[in-house]
């Protein structure tokens, strides 16, 4: 089952003299599929060795927990609190999990009624995760520092989002953004948001994309500057 879920877009304006130039804007797209895999990732994270109190997860990424029940979890499931995501179509393999399809036998993360906070260490424009038993009250939020850029809920992954703990209730979710983010928070207002196998794609400039003009924007800006120079020359002649 494949779903193209949601598309965010924001467009602003930029002024210099008499020129008004559209900004690069902002867009974020989420797709999800049962048995899916990361799309265009360069960094693959599992949480098999992560401490119960959080800390370094590799590749400069750190994990922190906040709230009731947030932390690491493993099989067996605890009724009413958390359930392991499902591995489907061998999609644990890129993360070093070669188990047969079924409930995730490795350590994974759960928000409980709280948050799992990722400090990414670098700017990224792609984030993927194995999202289990998706609920409507699960939320994934993306930040540039303390500035919230956008978020998605469980309803954006699965229109039912009813906490299905079976194989069909776990999705590999891919999120691509035109603006870079350096922090991601998984949160839930009810038990729980369970996930594993996070993938990232680094922004090689290590700068927020919103600060880097796109070629079309840059060309329009140059035209505006040239026009302003020509007007000043005519006035001085």
Report pLDDT digits (tens) over 122-166: 999 999 999 999 999 999 999 999 999 999 999 999 999 999 999
Is the Cα torsion angle 114, 119, 120, 122 positive or negative in sign?
positive
Mean pLDDT score of the chain: 83
pLDDT at 168 over 80: yes
Residue 3 pLDDT = 55
CA distance 102 to 75: 11
- Residue 10's pLDDT is 44
d(CA 168, CA 82): 17
If residue 110 lies in a helix (H) or strand (E), which one and from where to where? strand 108-110
Task: Report pLDDT for 1.
Answer: 57
Specify which residues 153 forms β-bridges with. 139
The band of 119, judged by pLDDT with boundaries at 50, 70 and 90, is: very high
Buried residues in 183-219 as b, exposed as e (16+ CB within 10 A): bbbbbbeebbbbbbbbbbbbbeeeebbbeeeeeebee
Q: Give the pLDDT of residue 212.
A: 44
**Residue entry with tokens 């350590």:** 107
Residue 211 has pLDDT above 60, yes or no: no
Nearest one of 25, 23, 29 to 8, comparing CA atoms: 29
Place of tokens 């039912």: 160
Instruction: Answer whether residue 117 shows pLDDT above 50.
Output: yes
Calculate mean pLDDT across residues 181-207: 90
Torsion of CA 75, 134, 71, 102, to 10 degrees: 20
pLDDT score, position 8:
54
């Amino acid at each position: 089952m494949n779903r193209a879920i949601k598309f965010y877009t924001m467009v602003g304006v930029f002024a210099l003299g008499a020129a008004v130039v559209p900004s690069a804007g902002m867009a974020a797209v989420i797709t999800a599929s049962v048995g899916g895999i990361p799309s265009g990732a360069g960094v693959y994270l599992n949480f098999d060795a992560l401490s119960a109190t959080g800390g370094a997860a590799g590749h400069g990424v750190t994990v922190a927990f906040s709230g009731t029940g947030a932390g690491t979890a493993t099989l067996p499931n605890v009724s009413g609190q958390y359930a392991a995501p499902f591995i489907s179509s061998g999609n644990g393999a890129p993360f070093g999990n070669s188990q047969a399809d079924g409930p995730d036998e490795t350590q994974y993360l759960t928000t409980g009624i709280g948050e799992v906070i990722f400090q990414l260490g670098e700017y990224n424009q792609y984030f993927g995760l194995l999202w289990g038993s998706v609920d409507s009250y699960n939320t994934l939020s993306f930040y540039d520092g303390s500035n919230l850029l956008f978020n998605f809920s469980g309803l954006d992954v699965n229109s039912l989002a009813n906490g299905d703990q079976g194989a069909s209730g776990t999705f590999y979710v891919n999120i691509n953004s035109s603006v870079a983010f350096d922090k991601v928070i998984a949160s839930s207002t009810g038990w729980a948001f369970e996930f594993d196998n996070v993938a990232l794609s680094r922004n090689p400039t290590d700068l927020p994309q919103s600060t880097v003009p796109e070629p079309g924007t840059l060309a329009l800006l140059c035209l505006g500057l040239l026009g302003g120079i020509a007007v000043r020359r005519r006035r001085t002649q």
